[in-house]
Chains A and B, each alone.
Chain A
Amino acid sequence: MKQKPSKPFFLLLISGILLTTITVLACGGGDWDDDEGSMFTPQIINQPKYTPFFRTLETPFYDGYDDAGASVFKITNTKEWISFLGNSTSDEAVNYWLYDASLKQIDSMIFALKGKPYNLSLSSKKYTLKTVTASDKAISFLYYLGFAKRNEDFVNPQNNSWDDKPVKVSKESPVKQITGGLTFYAKAKEPFLKERYAFQLVRLYFFNKEYDKACSFYNDNLSSFTPNSSMQWRALGYKAASLYKQKKYTESNYIYSIIYDGYEPLKKSAYLSFRPLQPAEWNQCLALTKTTHQKEVLWQLSGLYKDDINAMREILKLNPGSDMVDLLLVRAVNSEENLVTEETEDEKKDQKHSTDKNVLDFLNEMSDLTTSSNPIIWHLSAAYVNYINNDFITGDRQMARAEKYKNTNVLNTSEYHLINALGKVRRMKNITESAEKELVPDLEILFSKETSDIPDFRSSNARDWIRKTIADLYNKKGEVEKTELIYPGTNRYQFNDLENIKKMITYYEKATPSDFEKVFFNCALLHKTDYVQLLAIRYAQEDRLAESLAAFKSDTGQPIELPGNLFTIHIKDCHDCDHEAVQKIKYTKQSFVEKLIAMEKAAAVTPAKPEDVSQNYFLIANGFYNITYFGNARVFYDNRIDNSIYTYDHKTLPEENSGMALKYYLLALQASTDIEFRAKCTFMAAKCEQNDFFMTVKKDYNGDFKSGVYFLSLKKDFSGTKYYSEIIKECGYFRTYLGK
């Protein structure tokens, strides 16, 4: 018997409202995580009951949509009925009768208990209530169930089902159910049953839109409810919902605030049903409260919807040591930190930010005070927002205050060092050895495995931000190694220069790194082997095969098999066809280089038959062609450092250059006397020329390939060959060139 949220739950309109919200909030960078970019852990308030209410943009609750209420009700319900039945039956049996048994089976069980003819199913026999000592209680239980189950379709229609049958509409009219319910209620002698019938009636009145009656029935029969029982809280929820439906928001808000504060299973539902009010109505709402605590709760709820700073001020006016402000505080900080998490490069450079003055003034005031129940969260919050705002003097003062509380628990310690490091890095204009030293104590903690394993601690964004910011500073200084170690990829094209790759390899072999370097070596994102492999690839692309082979041999990574025959070539390239074709010999990156070396040796043997030489050169050319962006083995140049396998970068990377293939096609051409073979070599040279043409034209070039020398040579010297007619058949470019 699941309680529906008392207000139409807005998430059900997911396409109408939330879809657009999700879509937009997710735009640009993507919606990787709900706490994307955040460096401030709201859990530092150490009040787990507020976790669902931490700031979130995607879902109504930080811990997801899940409303634990329904399952709590189920457990409580079962427990209470077992106790009513004299603890003489099992959980499973009561659950079966409560949630699975059909009306027919309930009737049959009643007949069975009354000694009349009955027809029980196997499950009903298994979970028989004949074992219950007081059979009159078992019969009362079943009568109640019969009544309650008849209400279910009416109060809890299952609109959303995978079932393709039409939604079942209850035949029972609610009016008839209410009349019957009133009779049951009047006759019930056991307070336990009376309370349950009262709950059913409040709920029936609500769903029958008799809101006045729902309220008056609840008020008039309050004595039937055990104070603080689940039935009482749930019935109270329907009273509040009835007031809401009647637009009596001051009263509904007041009741919702009591439920929010007093009954955990309905906390989320009460929050969603709360409605922010305009001042006049709000004051009336506050006037309904009976204690200061109730006022604090109302202000907290209001602050969750609007003007959190004002709400915090009001709560603190009522109770300067109140911990009800803590939740609002971390929400405000998580909202404010967007300024740094969404900072553009220009904003970073200008160091100009406009944090909400209201927030900043309030945090500064609070950090100056000594009345707070949890001082460190105020000092850390204030310092963090000041650092975001580039006010380092104020921030440092607040961090000094935070220091004495920093070891109170592991989250406080970690957040302290995170904000400290952030403050230090954020003010850096350049990086020096002394600045490195000063950062070490904070970074050692922030970048340690222990810290990254702390549940809930939002350290990864801070680590990224710090890595990137420091790496940019090293990049400006031209320190290739540190830039790359700290944030690989900062200077993307620096590894087109082989010397820089070698520098990285040497750097990883460094015997005595500084403490600062140790921090980053210990959590390095790339390793020596990655650079060794890149070096091997680059050597191969430059036809420095012996050096390439040596590097591949010292690469400790797993060998990767290359798809497709690397020594094949077609008029019209087709990677998929090459990958699907049966391959007799499979090559790895290393064995491919070994094969190239063998072929180069064979081509250089003297004296040699010209056709052997040209054939070898041709195969070598195919190999070089296939390891470019245009070839069938892009995997060859795939690496962890400069991964361009899926993208095209307009001739900035070696793999986009077909020059080495061209060189060998021309050598093959030169060495051969066979006119058909020569035609083939010339066409392949034309393909290399074409690839280079499209790689070097301006990005917005919209025209056709402008042929250089090879199409002309084909036309002039090879028009009589068989291969020439094959080219015409398959190559549209060439046909266009010939004007056909």
Chain B
Amino acid sequence: MNNVRLIRSGFFVFFVAFLSCNKYKPEPSFYFWRTNASLSSKEKETLTQNNIHVLYVRFFDVDIPPGAQQPQPLGVIDSLELIPNTVSVIPVVYITNHTFLNLRSPEVPGLAANVVKKVTALQKKYKELQIDCDWSEKTKDAYFSFLKEVKKLIGNAVKLTATIRLHQIKYPVQSGVPPVDGGMLMFYNMGNIHNLQGPNSIFDAGIAHKYTPYITNYALHLDVALPVFKWCILYRNKKVIDLITKNRLPQTNDTTYFSVEKNSTFKVKQPQLIKGMYYKTNDLLKYEVLSDDELLKAAQLLKENLPPDNRRIVLYDLDDLNINYYETETIETIFSTFN
């Protein structure tokens, strides 16, 4: 029994869980973040191999697009019926902070009603609804009242969860704790992408240690998300110009345009437009992805800092471009780390 962890586990649940000594079982899962829900055979195989029964699926984004006065659903998922019926789908709705910056408080219930109506139109029944928003101190009130409205609409039978970023964990007083049934801790994007020489911005154990003490104290039950994605950070004159992901990723091993600076940094040899991106001579590209070992280390560190409890371990995100990078065993080991 790991009681030290329990003792630090927070304000409200601390004493309730104080003397418990159950054996906890984590539940593996993935995020699915594309707009078309057709899964490749490899992706389906990954679900089966890892015994995955729930999938967090982005249903749509919400934003106030140019020219519009009101928030709108954007990039609504297509062909949801193609998700294998072996998994139950948890709808995820991403809402920009910009939406809440521009929403007047009388408009909040309307937005909540629209979101719930849209989610339900796409999928009649769901046991959990997740809202993903990188809220800030300025939008905290609007966002939290939105969450309360959503909860009223979905009722107690449906769990409402919200994504929690590390800075929100570290500054719970300023950020507030969202009024939801549970949180999804995004255990990544912790570094400074502006620092070309710096450690991997997706995950770095040194930086992670600065946040981990706050995880144990957080006032919500947390599921956790770990990164299996990769990206390239594009620097020009030492400044970050863009982040390049998935299909926009250039072939950095193409020696006509790129030379290797050091391990994962590449230099542009001649200006070129590749997949819609403009690369200028001497631009630097930092290719970031977690190695199998680093990914396991991240999982281990997280495990050490979480009070034992039933929780979901979710990888972001299910995509051939991501999972092909890892050994099948690595993915399995990540999930089993939390046993």
Q: Are A162 and B118 in contact, CB atoms less than 8 angstroms apart?
A: yes
10 A–B contacts, CB within 8 A, in A order: A9-B65, A15-B58, A23-B165, A29-B167, A30-B165, A59-B98, A66-B67, A572-B19, A704-B1, A732-B20
Q: Are A342 and B97 in contact, CB atoms less than 8 angstroms apart?
A: no
Q: Given A12-B75, A29-B167, A160-B74, check contact A694 B134 (CB 8 Å).
A: no
Task: Find the A residue at minimum CB distance from B70.
Answer: A162
Across-interface contacts of B213 in A (CB, < 8 A): 699
Q: Are A697 and B4 in contact, CB atoms less than 8 angstroms apart?
A: yes
Q: Are B117 and A164 in contact, CB atoms less than 8 angstroms apart?
A: yes
Which one of B65, B73, B121, B194 has the highest number of Cβ atoms from chain A below 10 Å of its Cβ? B65
Across-interface contacts of A268 in B (CB, < 8 A): 66
Across-interface contacts of B66 in A (CB, < 8 A): 5, 9, 11, 65-67, 268
Cross-interface CB contact of B278 among A25, A276, A356, A703, cutoff 8 Å? A276
Nearest Cβ on chain B to A642's Cβ, whole angstroms: 13
In the bound complex, what is the Cα–Cα distance between A20 and B134 (angstroms)? 11
In the bound complex, what is the Cα–Cα distance between A121 and B197 (angstroms)? 69
Produce 1/0 per residue, A690-707, CB < 8 A to B: 000010010101111100
In the bound complex, what is the Cα–Cα distance between A733 and B6 (angstroms)? 13
Nearest Cβ on chain A to B102's Cβ, whole angstroms: 7
Q: Are B167 and A14 in contact, CB atoms less than 8 angstroms apart?
A: no
In the bound complex, what is the Cα–Cα distance between A59 and B98 (angstroms)? 9
Q: Are B15 and A338 in contact, CB atoms less than 8 angstroms apart?
A: no
Q: Given A16-B246, A31-B136, A572-B15, check contact A705 B3 (CB 8 Å).
A: yes
Produce 1/0 per residue, A716-737, CB < 8 A to B: 0000000000000011110010
Task: Find the B residue at minimum CB distance from A705.
Answer: B3
A70 interfacial by beta-carbon distance below 8 Å: yes
B96 interfacial by beta-carbon distance below 8 Å: yes
Across-interface contacts of A276 in B (CB, < 8 A): 278
B273 interfacial by beta-carbon distance below 8 Å: yes
In the bound complex, what is the Cα–Cα distance between A417 and B271 (angstroms)? 42
Q: Given A15-B75, A648-B8, check contact A27 B201 (CB 8 Å).
A: yes
* Chain B stretch 1-51: residues in CB contact (< 8 A) with chain A: 1-5, 7-8, 11-12, 14-16, 18-21, 33, 35
B318 interfacial by beta-carbon distance below 8 Å: no
Across-interface contacts of B223 in A (CB, < 8 A): none
In the bound complex, what is the Cα–Cα distance between A573 and B73 (angstroms)? 46
A370 interfacial by beta-carbon distance below 8 Å: no
Across-interface contacts of B118 in A (CB, < 8 A): 162, 164
Q: Given A67-B66, A164-B118, A278-B271, check contact A24 B243 (CB 8 Å).
A: yes
Nearest Cβ on chain B to A266's Cβ, whole angstroms: 12
In the bound complex, what is the Cα–Cα distance between A423 and B61 (angstroms)? 44
In the bound complex, what is the Cα–Cα distance between A592 and B102 (angstroms)? 45
Across-interface contacts of B136 in A (CB, < 8 A): 30-33
Across-interface contacts of B238 in A (CB, < 8 A): 354, 356
Apart from the given pairs A27-B201, A335-B239, 5 other A-B contacts in the complex at a CB distance below 8 Å:
A16-B245, A19-B61, A162-B72, A575-B14, A646-B173
Q: Are A162 and B117 in contact, CB atoms less than 8 angstroms apart?
A: yes
Q: Are A13 and B75 in contact, CB atoms less than 8 angstroms apart?
A: yes
Q: Are B189 and A23 in contact, CB atoms less than 8 angstroms apart?
A: yes
A307 interfacial by beta-carbon distance below 8 Å: yes
Task: Find the B residue at minimum CB distance from A691.
Answer: B7
Q: Are B18 and A572 in contact, CB atoms less than 8 angstroms apart?
A: yes
B64 interfacial by beta-carbon distance below 8 Å: yes
Which one of B16, B134, B236 has the highest number of Cβ atoms from chain A below 10 Å of its Cβ? B134
In the bound complex, what is the Cα–Cα distance between A164 and B121 (angstroms)? 6
Q: Are A27 and B12 in contact, CB atoms less than 8 angstroms apart?
A: no
Across-interface contacts of A65 in B (CB, < 8 A): 63-66, 98
Nearest Cβ on chain B to A371's Cβ, whole angstroms: 25
Q: Given A14-B61, A65-B66, A160-B65, check contact A30 B15 (CB 8 Å).
A: no
Task: Find the A residue at minimum CB distance from B216.
Answer: A648
Nearest Cβ on chain A to B287's Cβ, whole angstroms: 14
Task: Find the A residue at minimum CB distance from B110.
Answer: A162
Cross-interface CB contact of B63 among A14, A338, A730, cutoff 8 Å? A14
In the bound complex, what is the Cα–Cα distance between A27 and B134 (angstroms)? 10
In the bound complex, what is the Cα–Cα distance between A572 and B17 (angstroms)? 10
Across-interface contacts of B20 in A (CB, < 8 A): 732
Q: Are A69 and B67 in contact, CB atoms less than 8 angstroms apart?
A: yes
Across-interface contacts of B2 in A (CB, < 8 A): 702
Across-interface contacts of B98 in A (CB, < 8 A): 58-59, 64-65
Which one of B8, B65, B66, B237 has the highest number of Cβ atoms from chain A below 10 Å of its Cβ? B66
Nearest Cβ on chain B to A116's Cβ, whole angstroms: 38
Across-interface contacts of A159 in B (CB, < 8 A): 76
Across-interface contacts of A305 in B (CB, < 8 A): 278
A26 interfacial by beta-carbon distance below 8 Å: yes
Interface band, chain A: 35 or more
Cross-interface CB contact of A27 among B114, B190, B217, B245, cutoff 8 Å? B190
Across-interface contacts of B7 in A (CB, < 8 A): 694
* Chain B stretch 178-209: residues in CB contact (< 8 A) with chain A: 186, 189-194, 201, 207
Across-interface contacts of A434 in B (CB, < 8 A): none
* Chain A stretch 569-585: residues in CB contact (< 8 A) with chain B: 572-576
Produce 1/0 per residue, A642-660, CB < 8 A to B: 0100111000000000000
Q: Are B134 and A338 in contact, CB atoms less than 8 angstroms apart?
A: no
Across-interface contacts of A25 in B (CB, < 8 A): 193
Q: Given A20-B243, A65-B98, A161-B72, check contact A15 B33 (CB 8 Å).
A: yes
Q: Are B193 and A31 in contact, CB atoms less than 8 angstroms apart?
A: no
Across-interface contacts of A699 in B (CB, < 8 A): 213
Task: Find the B residue at minimum CB distance from A159.
Answer: B76
Q: Given A305-B278, A356-B238, check contact A24 B65 (CB 8 Å).
A: no
Task: Find the B residue at minimum CB distance from A632.
Answer: B15
Task: Find the A residue at minimum CB distance from B283.
Answer: A306
Q: Are B237 and A356 in contact, CB atoms less than 8 angstroms apart?
A: yes
Q: Are B167 and A26 in contact, CB atoms less than 8 angstroms apart?
A: yes
B265 interfacial by beta-carbon distance below 8 Å: no
Q: Given A28-B190, A160-B76, A736-B1, check contact A22 B96 (CB 8 Å).
A: yes
Cross-interface CB contact of B19 among A16, A24, A731, cutoff 8 Å? A731
Across-interface contacts of A5 in B (CB, < 8 A): 66
B168 interfacial by beta-carbon distance below 8 Å: yes
Q: Given A16-B245, A31-B136, A646-B219, check contact A11 B193 (CB 8 Å).
A: no
Q: Are A67 and B117 in contact, CB atoms less than 8 angstroms apart?
A: no
In the bound complex, what is the Cα–Cα distance between A732 and B18 (angstroms)? 9
* Chain B stretch 67-83: residues in CB contact (< 8 A) with chain A: 67, 72-76
Across-interface contacts of A647 in B (CB, < 8 A): 214, 217
Which one of B18, B61, B194, B245 has the highest number of Cβ atoms from chain A below 10 Å of its Cβ? B61
Cross-interface CB contact of A15 among B1, B94, B186, B272, cutoff 8 Å? B94
Across-interface contacts of A161 in B (CB, < 8 A): 72-73
B145 interfacial by beta-carbon distance below 8 Å: no
Across-interface contacts of B272 in A (CB, < 8 A): 278
Q: Are B194 and A27 in contact, CB atoms less than 8 angstroms apart?
A: no
B299 interfacial by beta-carbon distance below 8 Å: no
Nearest Cβ on chain A to B148's Cβ, whole angstroms: 19
B280 interfacial by beta-carbon distance below 8 Å: yes
Which one of B16, B19, B102 has the highest number of Cβ atoms from chain A below 10 Å of its Cβ? B19
Across-interface contacts of B248 in A (CB, < 8 A): 17
Which one of A16, A33, A731 has the highest number of Cβ atoms from chain B below 10 Å of its Cβ? A16
In the bound complex, what is the Cα–Cα distance between A22 and B72 (angstroms)? 19
Q: Are A576 and B166 in contact, CB atoms less than 8 angstroms apart?
A: no
In the bound complex, what is the Cα–Cα distance between A261 and B328 (angstroms)? 55
A358 interfacial by beta-carbon distance below 8 Å: yes
The 6 closest A-B pairs by CB, nearest first: A164-B121, A30-B167, A732-B19, A67-B66, A70-B67, A27-B189
Task: Find the A residue at minimum CB distance from B5.
Answer: A702
Q: Are B67 and A67 in contact, CB atoms less than 8 angstroms apart?
A: yes
* Chain A stretch 36-83: residues in CB contact (< 8 A) with chain B: 58-59, 64-67, 69-71
Nearest Cβ on chain B to A36's Cβ, whole angstroms: 10
Q: Are A20 and B173 in contact, CB atoms less than 8 angstroms apart?
A: no
Cross-interface CB contact of B64 among A66, A705, A731, cutoff 8 Å? A66
A102 interfacial by beta-carbon distance below 8 Å: no
Produce 1/0 per residue, B85-114, CB < 8 A to A: 000000000101110011000000000001
